[in-house]
Structure 1
């Protein structure tokens, strides 16, 4: 990729292009350039980044400015710093997902990545809730995945995922892995950067309770998550119904 000195960089290639560059801290301007490289796939998951000195020389800023931009991306879990080895683009491995995106923890305190059983995959026209969450036009198609997730064979989560079909073409006919975010990145070049969640207590319907192996009306925690890609586009709506008799939702606030 040919990115020259920052003052000559194409402003349309970075987020918030309407904002005058001079009004943003320099390290945030550099960060925006790095984010664009991630979005465009110039730096793919697992890739080792050039050294801070190389990046600073290429962009035309100080090494300290580059370091501050990289540190912020690392704090957002988009990059990984490895002592003595350098800086790498983060991958959606199970450990990262477990600590960044999966918040249901067994009451014994041990963090575990649940097993998954796909109950069904279908495509169809997006409903009103899906259009609103995923910013879709009327008539847009989505892929819906319904699956059961378990801790050591004990069902604990029933979830339904809605995905824009135009973003993930062919996914409906492919094997559905447990770690979907890794598939999104590897096959479609879509990296999940962050997510928004809403939590609500509900009572399970007969169908939901039957799949989870509990009585109708059993209380559960409903988690509505919208996952966003690096460029801020919503790419996944996930509705999870969670049993909490032996598990709890853990959020580490900083």
Structure 2
């Protein structure tokens, strides 16, 4: 491929540049970063679905009029970001929100002894309401906007481990209460039913004492020390799509963060 084909030509990215610029993803960046932003936008707008095989490097390079090396670098970063997965001899696929991915990317509570497990969940309540000041601030939406409030208990080996409060902007999750059951893997639900991919999460940890609600559902004494994990889940377009407060028993578990 000639050097001219390695540079962005006028009009080559016009439609997708608009999509990416609207999401605030483009600016003065290396070409591979701009290509990455355009490909991420394909996942964000649903053109590339979870579990779907994507075109190969050569096809994408031909379509976007850039070098294969540029595409390879963009796809490599997307793989590191857990947005894509390469399967030997089969190609590259959009990552799906299976239990294994959630366990190792988003669930950090680990037994002091033994292997990690994906917890079961029981929905305690699902209600709609107007966002209060704290919810509006956490989700970056106006106070009073409609939200869903989901409370569930999570267990390992039938032992209560976590009480979880999830707040979602209702405009992005219409008719959530129409589901017969809310699945254990809610990130899979967000992706498959609402086209919302959780790309990353920002968490804050602190020690708290169990309140009456925690004590009742975790079967622990009132005031018992718990680990509170305050999470803002962020979509591909950098929009906060979920606020989650998890209060966790840590008598036999710890929070594992693998820093690299």
Instruction: Give TM-score scaled by structure 2 length.
Output: 0.92
In structure 2, the partner of 1:250 is 256
In structure 2, the partner of 1:137 is 142
Q: Name the SS for the 1:14 alignment partner.
A: helix
Supply the distance in 2 between the matched residues of 1:218 and 1:50 (Cα, whole angstroms). 53
Supply the distance in 1 between the matched residues of 2:164 and 2:186 (Cα, whole angstroms). 13
C-alpha contact 1:15 1:36 (8 A) present in aligned 2 = no
Find out whether 1:212 has 2:214 as its counterpart: no
C-alpha contact 2:25 2:37 (8 A) present in aligned 1 = no
Supply the distance in 1 between the matched residues of 2:133 and 2:102 (Cα, whole angstroms). 29
Find out whether 1:193 has 2:227 as its counterpart: no
In structure 2, the partner of 1:61 is 66
Q: How does 1:156-195 map to 2 (within 5 A)?
A: 156-174=161-179, 175-195=181-201
1:113 to 91, 114, 118: 118
- Say how many residue pairs are matched: 249
Query: Aligned-pair distance for 1:166?
Result: 0.6
Alpha carbons of 1:18 and 1:102: their partners in 2 closer, same or farther (altered >3 Å)?
closer
Supply the distance in 2 between the matched residues of 1:220 and 1:17 (Cα, whole angstroms). 38
Q: How does 1:19-98 map to 2 (within 5 A)?
A: 23-98=28-103
Residue-by-residue CA offset, 1:108-156 (whole Å, 9 max, x unaligned): 1411000101111111111111101111112201111101001100001
Query: Aligned-pair distance for 1:107?
Result: 1.2
Alpha carbons of 1:203 and 1:17: their partners in 2 closer, same or farther (altered >3 Å)?
closer
Aligned-pair Cα RMSD in Å: 1.6
Query: Aligned-pair distance for 1:16?
Result: 7.3
Supply the distance in 2 between the matched residues of 1:30 and 1:245 (Cα, whole angstroms). 47
Find out whether 1:227 has 2:233 as its counterpart: yes
Instruction: Give TM-score scaled by structure 1 length.
Output: 0.94
Find out whether 1:13 has 2:16 as its counterpart: no
Find out whether 1:238 has 2:251 as its counterpart: no
Supply the distance in 2 between the matched residues of 1:98 and 1:24 (Cα, whole angstroms). 33
Q: Name the SS for the 2:54 alignment partner.
A: coil
In structure 2, the partner of 1:203 is 209
Supply the distance in 2 between the matched residues of 1:20 and 1:127 (Cα, whole angstroms). 33
